[in-house]
Amino acid sequence: MISVIDLCYREDSLSREEFVTPVERLLRRSGREFNTRHYTAPDIEAADAAILCGTALMDTGFAERPDLFYWLLEFERPVLGISSGMRALATAFGAGVEPGCGIGMTEVEVLSPDPLFAGKERFSAYEVRGCAVGVPGGFVALAASKECVQAIRHRFLPLYGLLFHPEVRNDWLIERFLGLVDQRP
């Protein structure tokens, strides 16, 4: 079961339709069992993996409660943090953020080999971000645009962050993430 974590400012917000529903649609299409919970009450105990969804540009309430994401420090199952989800993941591991707005398409260059990006050197991606996220200790930068790091991975755990929105133009990334979930014992 995949735990989908909604990072929007409140449960059932209008932003949910833009940032959570597309991820749920991809999971449904793949035949995956999932549950969706708000970040204030995640249901991760029985989860095989977690996907932390993005939020609207000015929706940063989740960032005011980093303690609600400390479960990530001990969650050794696959995690995919999308946009704000990458910010929550990186912040839980001690990374900082810097102002840096990006809206629209950006060219992303793969920096380090990883199954998530196998066969790709560059690709276009859609971003909606109000900041750039640092690479926390224990993580490696996997991909970057001219402006900032766009993807990270923990060196030893299956924890990934994508600053762009793969659910918009790069659903192959979510499919590859699900493939990594399937490979776990």
**90 and 68 Cβ atoms separated by less than 8 Å:** no
Domains observed in the chain: 2-183 (3.40.50.880)
**117 and 143 Cβ atoms separated by less than 8 Å:** yes
Q: What is the pLDDT of residue 27?
A: 97
Tokens representing 25?
Answer: 């649609």
**152 and 90 Cβ atoms separated by less than 8 Å:** yes
Q: What is the pLDDT of residue 103?
A: 94
Tokens representing 19?
Answer: 């940032």
Q: Which helix (H) or strand (E) holds 167?
A: helix 166-169
Going by C-alpha positions, the residue among 72, 105, 104 that lies closest to residue 86 is 72
Q: What is the pLDDT of residue 10?
A: 78
Q: What is the pLDDT of residue 185?
A: 72
Q: Which residues pair with 4 in a beta bridge?
A: 36, 51
**78 and 46 Cβ atoms separated by less than 8 Å:** no
pLDDT tens string, the chain, 185 residues long: the values are: 999 999 998 777 778 889 999 999 999 999 999 999 999 999 899 999 999 999 998 888 999 999 999 999 999 999 999 999 999 999 999 999 999 999 999 999 999 999 999 999 999 999 999 999 999 999 999 999 999 999 999 999 999 999 999 999 999 999 999 999 998 77
Mind giving me the DSSP string for 17-86?
A: HHHTHHHHHHHHHTT--EEEEETTS---TT-SEEEE----TT--GGGG-GGGGGGGGT--S-EEEETHHH
Q: Which helix (H) or strand (E) holds 177?
A: helix 171-183
Q: What is the pLDDT of residue 12?
A: 74
Going by C-alpha positions, the residue among 73, 88, 104 that lies closest to residue 5 is 88
**97 and 134 Cβ atoms separated by less than 8 Å:** yes
